[in-house]
Structures are given as C-alpha cells and as structure tokens.
Structure 1
Amino acid sequence: MVLSVAGVNVKFTGFLDDGFREVFLGTFARRYLPDVFPSEDASDIILERFKGDSFRVFSAIYDHNGVDSYKIESPVPSAYGNEAPVFFLLQAVARAGAKKGRFIITDSVSVVLPSGKAVLFVGYPHTGKSTISAIALGGDLPVLSTENTVLELRQEKLFVVGGTDVLVYDPGVEGIYGIKIPYDDVTKSGYRIADLRGDSTRRALLRGGVEVETIVVLHAAFNCSQASFATIRGRKIKKTLWYFATALLKGLDYYEPLPLHMPMSEEISDNLREFLKVASESYSGRMYEAFGNHRAIFESVVEGSLQKEENTENQSPNFSSM
C-alpha cells in the first residue's frame, strides 16, 4: 500500500479498511499534495495508522535506515472536517523530499511560458495565485502547479518537476477577465474545481522537468488597473525563498492540534543551502515583486517585457479602480 507523493514514496500500514489511504488520491487531498500516484518503489516514509476520533501523531522516528516512520491516530480525512492528516502528510513529504534535493515550495503556482520555460509565482494567501492560474488556463498555457510546486536543482538552474494538480478558483474571475475554464466540481462555498490530472501535456512536461526562467512574488488585486515590478537581487532572494522553501518543513502550514517539530538533518541543511545559493546567484535580476492587476502582471510576464516595464523600489503601483 504505497503512494508516491511529490516523488516521495509513502507506505501506509495499520487500519486501512475504511478507505483512509484512498482519500489521498481524491481532489481534496490533491489540492495540497503534489503528484499523488500508486507506487511499487521502496518506501521513504512509513505511516502506520490507528483509528480514532481525532488526529494526533504519537510516534515519529527520523532517518532510520534513511526512512522516516510515523504512528498516527485519525479518522478518515475529509474536507471541512478532518483535514489534519493531509497537511501532516504534506509536512512529512516535504522533509523526506528535501533529503532528496526536492523542495516543495508552498503558496506557489507555475505556468509554462511560450518560450517553453516556466514562471514560478509565489505569494502569501489571497495575493492572486489562483486567479493567475485561471488566466493561464483560459489562455491555453500549461499550468504545472496550482498550490505547491516541487523544484529541483539541475546544472545551476531550478526546474519544476512536480506540483499540485487541482485548481480551486472564484468563478467571478471568468466574468472579470472574459475567460472560460472547464471545471469538474464546485466546493460548498461555490468555488469551482478544475482537476488537471488528465492533462497529458502537463504530465509530459513534468516528466522531463521545466526550467524556471523567472520568479515572481505576487501582490495582485482586482481593483488595480496596471502593473509595476521591482527587481529582487542577491540576499533578498535567499530571504524570500527561505520562507517558501521551509514553511512546510517548519510546520508553518498549520494543522490541528499542532504541527510537528521535524528536525532538519545535515543532509537537508546542505541541500537547502545549495538550493538558496544557486537561486540567489542564477536568478538575481530574474526575480521580481509584482504589484497591480492580475491580467496586467500576467501579460507582462508572458510577453517577456519585465525588463522594459520594471520600476524602481520607491515607485508605487497604480491602485486606481478598473
């Protein structure tokens, strides 16, 4: 009973007769867990589950013969009910992936540009990532990740090698930006769900990995009419990516009752230092903060006109109404 999650193999043991494992293959779990598929490969994580009325982790053993082992008590995961097992597994997978040099970048989406390379958008909640993804889908550009993105270092460059494949977006985006997006379901709150798992182009791109050309830190809003950009260089790249690359490792993606404190091994620390070093050197001048309207930001990125439109640090974005 093994699932591959973000390229990390998780073996489920214990009490599984109520469909506990299968829930992780559904759209709710895949909104947060990158690339979930059945696997027959050797385990990186062993997760033993006991039935219970609430979620808790009561045993964690790290790096024993290269494997992390956990014992948990939990009901079956469910949206709006028992969400903790999904976010716990995401944290556990982030740690195991970091040992392999695969970093799960939280609060991020990635889109393939006409150049064939990718742009990585990162941003705190409600800064426009889902809307940017919806605009990309409406423009027939492949979306590689919708919430969490898996990156690897290759030859002094960052590559997208995985990502979440379920997009949840506000249907109002279609009316505001005049786009149409096929969707598969609707949440209780009325948001639409687009499941990208069946996108064969996306899967083919991820099998080979897509080089990241540009990184954009989003600050987007509907009531803006234009876009402005400020270049990020050097140490600020490290500081910014440190947060998005370690948030899951450190349990900053909160779940009940409290996220685990997971130790960062020497192997993880070495991989993280190399990741940040390469990012700060290779993407200095290719990482931007973007302020303004979603479409204006997206079109500037797609057209490759950031250098021409770049603003200095002390210029303010245009927040006039649309």
Structure 2
Amino acid sequence: MLSVGGVGVLFSGELNDGFVDGFRTLFARRYLPDVLRAEIKPDILIERFKGESFRVFSSMYDVNGKDRYKLESAVPSAYKNEAPVFFLLQATARAGARKGRIFITDSVSVVNPEGRAVLFVGYPHTGKSTMSAIAVSEGLDVLSTENTVVDVREGKLYVIGGTEVLVYDPRIEDVYGVSIDYDETTRSGYRIVDLESTERRRLLKKGVEVEKIVVLHAAFGGGEASFSPVRGRKIKKTLWYFSTSLLKGMDYYEPAPLYMPMGEEINYNLNKLLDSAVENYSGKMFEAFGNHRDVFKRTVLFT
C-alpha cells in the first residue's frame, strides 16, 4: 500500500519482484509527490501482471468511490521502464482532484522567511529547478520540486504536498556562486538532491499558505527582473493549464497516456481552485522575467 500525494494506492497481483518498491526510488520520487508506505484508505486499486512492455488493459472510474486499473509492466526504473511512474502520477492526480487535492504540474514551491509559500509555475526550462536550488543554498525549505499538491481553505491556496527530489543544472554554482551538497548525478551530469526531511513533512502536514504565484520566464544571462501582473481570466487560464495537464495526460508516456474523464467532483474542486485564485490572488500573481537570482530575491526574500 502506498500513499502518493495523500492518495491511497492499493496494489495486488504479481508483486514479488519489487514492483511496488520501484515507485520509491529517487527517479520515481522526482515526479511522484510524497511517496510513502502507509496504511490509508485506498482511492485507487491496481492489479499488476508481469510483462516486458507497459500497457493498461482495463480502467474503471468512480466505482464505489475508487478508480480501478489492470496493467502489465516490468518493474519501474529510470531509462528502462519509466512509463509506470508517469501512469501512476496521472492516476493519483485524478484521484487527488476528486478529494480536493489538486496536483499542479511544472511547479515548485518555496517557503519564504515569513513562513508562507511562493508557488512558481512555468513551462520546461524557465527556471523552476534553479529557483529551488537557490532556495536550498539560502537554507530555505523547498516544499515541491516538480509537482505540487494544493488545497483550498477559506479561499486561500495551501501547499500540502509535492515532489521532494531536486534535479538541477550545476551551472548555477558558477553563474550565481551558490554551493549545494548533492547526492547523485544523472547520466547527463545534472545533480540530484533528496530533500526529504522531518521539517518538510511537518510543514506539509499542516499546510503552508501560498502568498503569491509566479509564472516564470527566467534564464541564465537574463537581465534585471521585471514583472507583469496576471489578473482575471488570465489567472484562470494559466492555472487551468497547470492544474489539469496531468489529468489530461499531457505529461506523455508510452504507449500513450490514458483518457481520464473528469466528473462532477473533480470539476467542482478545480473550479473552486480557479475561483479562489481570481478572488484572492489578483495583485499577487505575476509573470517574472530576468535572471534567476534577481527574480528569486524579489519574489522570495523581499516580500
């Protein structure tokens, strides 16, 4: 039994080859938020059959409050068999949304010195991992590094989960003069830091209020930071993309992401998120341009 972003996943079938443990590796935890072995109420039932290829040959949704899948797969592993990890991310994002736990993809969140969260969202290569790495070098808590789990409380967004493995470009150490202790490196030379800690889990258990939302457009060699406010419909349009991408299978995996229907509960919770963001984050959501260091200082350190 696993908890992924607060979503209970119960596995059955052919599991004697370490299949479930494959979701707790550094690679898997880079994409799956808060993967724990835990006895919690299952939201997803997965029956697994051994096989060399990956395929989901049965999927049923909202059956007595649970989503059910049957799949064929080898053990999840980096470079060799990554599809099960991205499938589970999609499946838990759907089940989470049904519970009001919204998985926001392409996002990182950092706790500022006042104890509130800055949520960064952005397309690939816009500076999210660099923001996390700078935060680590500053001794700040990083709550999520790739996918962030939020809920809504009295109109405010709270970070309640997220990925805890940071992969960053080592160039930042030369460009910005930061020093970070890292655990491993990827094949391409990127550095890996496991951010799992008791303090991080404590913060996520109670939830950290999001103070501001920043849409990143940062780059090495960028100039002084500049900001453009995001308001009204553009808030909804932007957050709709980042909060539904996983549900829609936009994070591609082989042979193809599943089509997952969004029912009334999911649509209600998504619209609750979007309406709350428009009401409470107009004036607190910005597009940010410039170099990473200056954007970080002006959004995290200078509140």
Q: TM-score, normalised by structure 1?
A: 0.93
> For 2:286, what is the secondary structure of its paired residue?
strand
Which residue of the partner structure matches residue 186 of structure 1?
185
Which residue of the partner structure matches residue 105 of structure 1?
104
Distance 2:166 2:301 in 1: 24
Which residue of the partner structure matches residue 148 of structure 1?
147
Look up the equivalent residue of 1:124 and give its one-letter code.
Answer: Y
Which residue of the partner structure matches residue 47 of structure 2?
48
> For 1:160, what is the secondary structure of its paired residue?
strand
Distance 1:49 1:303 in 2: 47
Alignment deviations for residues 179-216 of structure 1 (CA, whole Å, 9 cap, x no partner): 1111111111111110011x222111111100000000
Trace 1:61-72 onto structure 2 (pairs within 5 A). Answer: 61-72=60-71
Which residue of the partner structure matches residue 253 of structure 2?
255
User: Alignment partner for residue 292 of structure 1, among 284, 290, 293?
Assistant: 290
| Alpha-carbon distance, 1:137 to partner | 0.4
Which segments of 5 or more consecutive residues in structure 1 lack a partner in the other structure?
Answer: 306-322
> For 1:288, what is the secondary structure of its paired residue?
strand
> For 1:19, what is the secondary structure of its paired residue?
coil
Distance 1:193 1:31 in 2: 9
User: Alignment partner for residue 272 of structure 2, among 267, 271, 274?
Assistant: 274
Which residue of the partner structure matches residue 20 of structure 1?
19
Q: Does the alignment pair 1:91 with 2:59?
A: no
Trace 1:30-49 onto structure 2 (pairs within 5 A). Answer: 30-49=29-48
Trace 1:112-151 onto structure 2 (pairs within 5 A). Answer: 112-151=111-150
User: Alignment partner for residue 211 of structure 2, among 210, 213, 227?
Assistant: 213
> For 1:121, what is the secondary structure of its paired residue?
strand
Compute the RMSD of aligned alpha carbons: 0.8
Distance 1:295 1:226 in 2: 9
User: Alignment partner for residue 224 of structure 1, among 205, 222, 225?
Assistant: 222
| Alpha-carbon distance, 1:63 to partner | 0.6
Q: TM-score, normalised by structure 2?
A: 0.99
Q: Does the alignment pair 1:204 with 2:212?
A: no
Which residue of the partner structure matches residue 315 of structure 1?
none
Which residue of the partner structure matches residue 162 of structure 2?
163
Look up the equivalent residue of 1:45 and give its one-letter code.
Answer: I
Which residue of the partner structure matches residue 243 of structure 2?
245
Which residue of the partner structure matches residue 314 of structure 1?
none
> For 2:28, what is the secondary structure of its paired residue?
helix
| Alpha-carbon distance, 1:175 to partner | 1.4
Look up the equivalent residue of 1:166 and give its one-letter code.
Answer: V
Alignment deviations for residues 21-71 of structure 1 (CA, whole Å, 9 cap, x no partner): 001111110000000001111210001111111100000011111010000
Distance 1:163 1:182 in 2: 21
Look up the equivalent residue of 1:277 and give its one-letter code.
Answer: D
Distance 1:252 1:187 in 2: 24
> For 2:92, what is the secondary structure of its paired residue?
helix
Distance 1:114 1:20 in 2: 40
| Alpha-carbon distance, 1:76 to partner | 1.0
Look up the equivalent residue of 1:41 and give its one-letter code.
Answer: I
Q: Which runs of 4+ in 1 moved over 6 A?
A: none
| Alpha-carbon distance, 1:144 to partner | 0.4
Distance 1:236 1:103 in 2: 19
